[in-house]
Amino acid sequence: MTDSVIPIIDEKRIWELLKDSRGARDSGWARQALEKALELRGLEAEELPPLMALSDPELLQALFEAARSVKNRIYGERLVLFAPLYISNLCANECLYCAFRVHNASVRRRALTQEEIAEEVRHLVRQGHKRLLLVAGEAYPREGFSYILRSIATVYSVKEGPGEIRRLNVNIAPLTVEEFRELKEAGIGTYQLFQETYHRETYGKVHLAGLKRDYDWRLSAMDRAMEAGIDDVGIGILFGLFDWRFEILALLQHIRHLERTFGVGPHTISVPRLEPAVGSDLALHPPYPVSDLDFRKIVAILRLAVPYTGIILSTRETPNMRRETFALGVSQISAGSRTNPGGYSEQEEADASQFQLGDHRPLDEVIRDAAELGYIPSFCTACYRLGRTGQDFMDLAKPGEIQAHCTPNALSTFLEYLLDYASPETREAGEAAIQRSLATLPPPLLRKSLRLLARVQRGQRDVFC
Ligand code: SAM
Ligand code: SF4
C-alpha cells in the first residue's frame, strides 16, 4: 500500500515554495493563513512560507495568538506527561550528532538486563509515571530484535504499589513489516521515529555508517509500520541539522503522504533541537542552529498546520522554553528524564548519556509548575486502552468530541497522581488546579468528571471513560 505516483518528499517543490517571494513578503498572505488556521482547518504547504518569514512584531504576535487559541480549543489545559526509558546505548550507526554513535570511544556501553529494566520501571512507577517511551540504539544484544520484545513484556509486567505502566511507546530503529507486526502484538502505544533531516544531501553527510545511512529505508518506515497495523505513529525532525523551513515543509509532505495512503496521519510530532552530546562536535556546533524565536515559530506553525496532531517536547529544552511552548501548542512533555541506561535506579552519568538535558527538575516539580501555570497534567491512557487509535482517534478528535473523554480522564489521572505520589505542596497546587478546571466545565462534562473523581477519591484506580 505505498504511494507510487507522488514521491513522499519532493525537494524541488519545497525549494519552489521557499523561493516564492510573494509568499515570503506579503503580510496579506500571512493574515489569510492565520484566519484559515483559526477555523481549525489546518494549513497546506503553500500557506506556510509567509508565516515562516514573519518578523514584524505585530504579525508575530498574531501568529502566537492564533496558535494559543487553536491549542486551547482543541487541547484545553491538558498536558500529557511521560518519561523516556533508555534500555541500551549499543549502536552500530555513526550519526555524527549522537553520543551513542559506534565510533564514539568516550561513551560507556551498556544494555540493561531484564531485571535492570524492571528496576528502572519500578523507580519510574514510584515517581507516578504511567506512560513511558522505550528508547534504544540500533544494535541489540545477542538475542537481536527479541531483546526489544522481551523488554516491552518486562515493562508491562511490573506492578509497584498502586501503580503500573499503562502505555509504552517506543523509539527504535526502522523494522520490517513482519517485525512491526510483532511490535504491535507486544502492545506498544505509539511507534516513534524521527527522520532527523528530510534533506537527502545533509542526511548523507551526518549518517556515516550502519543501516541508518539508508535515507529511504528510514523514510518508508512509517508506511511499513502502518501496513503492519500500527496506526499511532510519531514523526519528528532533529532541528539544527538543516534549514528548519525546509524541514517543516518536508514534514508536512510526509504527513500528507501518510494521510493519502492510509487515511490517517501521524499521532504525534516531536521537535527535538540538537543538544550537546559527549564526543560530538556536530552537536556542539549545529550547522543550522535554531534560535529561541524560531523554535517558538516552529511550534506555533505546526500547531496551526496540523491542529489535531500532538506535539511532543522533551527535557532537552529549558523550563522557560517549555513553559512558553506549552501555551503555543505542545501537548505532551517528558519530565524527570535520564538518557543513560540505568539512569533512574542508579544515577545520571554524562559519559553514558545520549545528550545533555535542559530541564533537570524531578517530575513532582514539573507537575507543580504546570499546575500553577493553569495546566492539568494528565497521565491518561484511555484512548489506547479502548482502541481509540489511528483513524478512530482522529474521527473523534476532529469534531472536538474527544474533549468529552479527555477532560474527565485527565482530571482523574491527575488526582490519582496527587493522592498517590505528590509532595504536599504539589498536591495543594494540583487540587487547586482541578477546582479551577471544574469551574469552567459545562454541566454534562462537569457531572462526568465529578463521577470519575469521586471514584478515585474512594480508592479506585485506573478508571476512565
Ligand atoms: N537509535 C534510534 C534512532 O536513531 O532512530 C532510536 C533512538 S535515538 C537515541 C532517538 C533520537 O535521539 C534520535 O532520533 C535523534 O533525533 C535524537 N538525538 C540524537 N542525538 C541527539 C542530540 N545530540 N541532541 C538531541 N537529540 C538527539
Ligand atoms: Fe544510534 Fe540512534 Fe544515536 Fe544514531 S541517533 S547513533 S542510530 S542511537
Query: How confident is the model at residue 358, as a pLDDT?
Result: 85
| Atom of ligand 2 minimally distant from the CA of 94 | 6
By CB atoms closer than 10 A (0-12, 13-18, 19+), residue 342 is: buried
Query: How confident is the model at residue 399, as a pLDDT?
Result: 56
Confidence of residue 435 (pLDDT cuts 50, 70, 90): very high
Q: Which 3 state secondary structure label does DSSP give 290?
A: coil
> Of 288 and 6, which is predicted with more confidence?
288
What lies within 8 Å, CB to CB, of 435 at 6+ separation is none
Distance 273 CA to ligand 2 centre (A): 15
Question: With a 6 A CB cut-off, is 93 part of the ligand 2 pocket?
Answer: yes
Encode pLDDT of 45-96 as tens digits: 999 999 999 999 999 999 999 999 999 999 889 999 999 999 999 999 999 9
Task: Ligand 1: list residues with CB < 6 Å.
Answer: 97-98, 135, 137-138, 171-173, 193-194, 196, 238, 272, 274-275, 277, 283, 316, 354-355
* Percent of the chain residues topping a pLDDT of 70: 96
Ligand closest to the CA atom of residue 354 = 1
Distance CA 353, CA 438 (A): 41
Q: What's the one-letter identity of residue 374? A: G
Distance CA 148, CA 53 (A): 43
**54 contacts 60 by C-beta, under 8 angstroms:** yes
Instruction: Tell whether the torsion through CA atoms of 145, 148, 151 and 157 is positive or negative.
Output: negative
Distance 431 CA to ligand 2 centre (A): 41
Instruction: Give which of 429, 434, 402 is closest to 415, Cα–Cα.
Output: 434
Distance 354 CA to ligand 2 centre (A): 9
Distance 400 CA to ligand 1 centre (A): 33
Ligand closest to the CA atom of residue 174 = 1
Compute φ and ψ for 309, nearest 5 degrees.
-95, 130
The mean pLDDT value for 390-400 works out to 70
| Atom of ligand 1 minimally distant from the CA of 196 | 16
Encode pLDDT of 162-217 as tens digits: 999 999 999 999 999 999 999 999 999 999 999 999 999 999 999 999 999 999 99
Confidence of residue 403 (pLDDT cuts 50, 70, 90): confident
- Ligand 1 atom 1, closest CA: 137
Distance 193 CA to ligand 1 centre (A): 9
Least confident stretch, 354-358, 380-384, 458-462: 354-358
Give the β-pairing of 159-160 and 163-164: antiparallel
In the block, cell 520484545 appears at 149
- Ligand 2 atom 8, closest CA: 137
Ligand closest to the CA atom of residue 277 = 1
Distance CA 202, CA 308 (A): 30
- Ligand 1 atom 18, closest CA: 98
Question: With a 6 A CB cut-off, is 207 part of the ligand 2 pocket?
Answer: no
Ligand closest to the CA atom of residue 92 = 2
Q: C-alpha distances in angstroms, 130 versus 82, 125, 402, 433, 461?
A: 7, 7, 20, 20, 12
- Ligand 1 atom 14, closest CA: 194
The mean pLDDT value for 259-277 works out to 96
Give the β-pairing of 332-334 and 78-88: parallel
Query: How confident is the model at residue 2, as a pLDDT?
Result: 47
Question: With a 6 A CB cut-off, is 338 part of the ligand 2 pocket?
Answer: no
Encode pLDDT of 223-253 as tens digits: 999 999 999 999 999 999 999 999 999 999 9
Ligand closest to the CA atom of residue 358 = 1
Please enumerate, as own/partner, the contacts of 458-463 that have beta carbons within 8 Å and a separation of 24 or more: 461/162, 461/163, 461/416, 462/166, 462/416, 463/412
Within 10 A of 166 (CB to CB), how many other CB atoms are there? 20
Query: How confident is the model at residue 265, as a pLDDT?
Result: 96
Residue 1 has pLDDT above 60, yes or no: no
Question: With a 6 A CB cut-off, is 91 part of the ligand 2 pocket?
Answer: yes
Residue 27 has pLDDT above 90, yes or no: no
**135 contacts 172 by C-beta, under 8 angstroms:** yes
Distance CA 9, CA 200 (A): 10
Query: How confident is the model at residue 21, as a pLDDT?
Result: 55
Distance CA 365, CA 311 (A): 22
Question: What 8-state DSSP symbol labels residue 50?
Answer: H
- Ligand 2 atom 5, closest CA: 98
Q: Which 3 state secondary structure label does DSSP give 464?
A: coil
Encode pLDDT of 279-318 as tens digits: 999 999 999 999 999 999 999 999 999 999 999 999 889 9
Distance CA 213, CA 233 (A): 22
Q: Which 3 state secondary structure label does DSSP give 378?
A: strand
In the block, cell 564514539 appears at 104
What lies within 8 Å, CB to CB, of 454 at 6+ separation is none
Query: How confident is the model at residue 400, as a pLDDT?
Result: 63
Q: Which three cell numbers stand for residue 218?
A: 528510514
